[in-house]
Structure 1
Amino acid sequence: MIAEVAVFSLTKFVTLEDNIEMAYLRQWLLLVLVQVIQICTASGPPRVIGKVHHRHIAKVGRNTKLLCPVEADPPPLMQWNKNNHNIPNGWTRFKVSQDGQLRIRGIEMDDAGTYVCKAINGFGNIKINYTLIVVDEEKGIVKQDNSLYNQSPDEDLRKEGAPPVFTELPKKDHIVRPVGSSVRLKCRATGNPRPHVTWFFNNQLIQIDEDPSKHPQWILKLQNVNELETGEYTCKVSNRLGQINHTYTLEVIEKIKTKPVLISPHPMNTTVDYGGTASFQCRVRSVVQPHIQWLKRVEDLDSIPNLNTTIEVKGQKFVVLKTGEVWNRPDGTYVNKLLITHATESDGGMYICLGANSMGYSFRSAFLTVSSGPNTGLSYTNQDSSSPKNHLPLFIAVPSAIIGMGLFGVLLFYIRRRRQCNNQGSNLKIQRFPVPTQDKDFYTNNYHNNSNMLPISREKIPKTPTPSVDLYSDISSVSQHHPHHHHHQHNQYSY
């Protein structure tokens, strides 16, 4: 009896122990399952959503907020710091909202600095940086990081500050001008704040009376110069972040007494394959830098919708081509180059290089021939219908017609003679006559007789080379047989 009670009690104890273990096991499996589900459905580490403006401007005494546009699953934990120091809960004017925004009440100048929002979850973290700029409008001062400076309408606080950088400077620092001429010196630069430009002549400040809003400071105009204005002109470009300068040397000489002289043999007649690249070079000798311009003669005036776009030289119309930079050579000459790419037949024709200064102008011309078009083997020099090349079909058609008439005569003679033989055979006994297949003598004589009517020349028509016109020659004396359409593109490259 006692033994039976003991066995029953032990069995009951073991069963209770098993139930507890199973309960723990079920809870553990449930937790693992939940974690697996969370891992499978989670989207990963935090990521930025939308566009972030990293520079934030706040005014003294106002409230502001910095966003932390981040999303993640599981939701991230948001942390803010200022200048690499965590923002404690004791900062009563600072509060982080549930969506991660940092709100600041009653902005002070010392609130300026670098703020970082850090979003963290089990998959990783991400940081978003802000630069808070504080403006005191009453005092007209700005604090950015540790810098305190006066507020300026020339500065865009939404953009990073930048020191001045030149954006436009001529490649020549030494300028020669005759007495009475005008000069424009340029010192264009960019920066934030917008740079301020001052000019100096031989280290003496130049007072400019013109309104800066109407006349840019980076241009210095000198009119009706004289020899006393020879010297160094320096522009100083500065803003709160830096300063740069550039110096020009101006040399004022006596008035020019001669016009430019174009140095032969340039430009030279040139031949280029269809689709190829051709170039003309122009060299000018002048006391001062001349104005060099390239022109192209227009043959078909109907192709130009507006004749006001052309100029007239020696009674002929020309279109003005875009001209590149003029280079000064060590020998005192000036050089400019015209480059024609992807040449077509419309590019063929007369080109003029014109050099001018205050005393006048001179010019020289040359011709461009474009050969071997895409569908023909002909050359394109843009000659008109009076050109001998256009009579080539006649030289072929006329002799062909004469030969054809000769062959027709031989055939007609043969048919008539055969008919006569047939008629005689109908009245006489049938006889077989040897009928010749070809009357060789008649054909030969007839062919030669007809051939003497128009001799066929096998010689090629000589092509007369087009001369390069001298600068003092009359353009009108040059061959007029070079029609050209001015709707073409010319790329300019100087050297």
Structure 2
Amino acid sequence: MNPTQMCIFAGMLQLVPGTPSIEPPRVNPFSFLKRWRAGEKTTVTCMVASGTAPMKFIWMKDGKELTEASSVRFKHEQGYSMLFIEPVEVNSGGNYTCVVKNRAGIDSYTTFLDVEASPRWAETPGDQKMAFGSEVKLNCRATGSPPPAVRWERFVEATQAWTKLRAEGERLDIPRVTNNETGRYRCTAVNGVQPDIRHDFLLSIYVPPKILPFHFRKTIKPGENARTTCLVEAGDAPMTFSWLRNGMDATLTKNVHVNTQADFSILNVSPVDATSAGNFTCIVKNKAGFDSFTAYLDVEAPPEWKREPMDKAGVVGNTVRIECLGSGSPSPKMSWHVEREDGLRQAVSEAIPSRATVHANGTLVLHDLDTRDSGQYTCTADNGVAPVLKKTITLKINGKDRRQERAIPIKCNSADSK
């Protein structure tokens, strides 16, 4: 029998062919029943109490439509839909909404999935080694449901006990690390779901380098080898070594060779010559600071000529310059002596005090020459290392001595003479 509608109008009963009514969906309340732990599996069913088919089911989480994934599946049937979550994860917690639609309308119901998960570390610091005075920022970050709280502690050696720090939250800040802040630290994550978790780590300070004093052996002569070792007796790696000679990069000096390892550096001068002498400085650096030590390389080299003096001639009243340049190690002291034609031998500074100048490099300058300045002049270079270096030259002064007076006849007339 076809559906009919009974209509009573104006006291008359008649059958009128009709159409079926369309009823909007109505969703029965549902829930996840309990608090679930991460790793378990759960199912919830969204059932329609009434409504005309066909109906469409949509699942949403926290206001966003869900799609099937590795841990989420749906099963849609006529009149109900099942949501499977396997396994339950920490981020599975939230508001789940079942939305049902048909041509007549829409209905929905929302329930909360409460997930409990014990804390798990997402970020922890390893052992820390810091430069003295540096700033430290360390993170202990944990996940869990409900979100864990993190507390910080430090082990006090004097009391052999853990002491709570004022730091709150996931970060520990130490503005300036000193020896007082070194030691063992612990962060603990707690959210009421057992077990609590702990993480321990060490905080220490880099030790700056300390060089063991070194020296070169005494009495090094040209042609020999000079070697010394810059050894670090304390300090944290990594370390860098550098060498200076008289304040400049030593490796730019000829015959200087450097061999550096993790905690020592060998300087070798091979072969040594007179110019090798000087102050050699080893500098060692690391993150904590630096140290340096200086040793003097003393080369014993007898004097030798850089510019040998030669015979000279001068003119009365003029100036003469005689070069006498010597080298050696240590640097030689230069001096001049004169043996005049009268046989007297004296230091130039004594023989001609007002007109003679001996420069530090050995150059002799004679001013306002006199014929008596002619003679044998000896330049001596002496640095205490045998043999002493000497060279005698002849200085010849030409011209008339201006100090020799000439006789001038003078005629004097008396006022009475006529």
Using CA pairs below 8 Å that are at least 6 residues apart, which structure has the higher relative contact order? 1
TM-score by length of 1: 0.25
Q: Which structure dedicates a bigger proportion of its chain to helix? A: 1
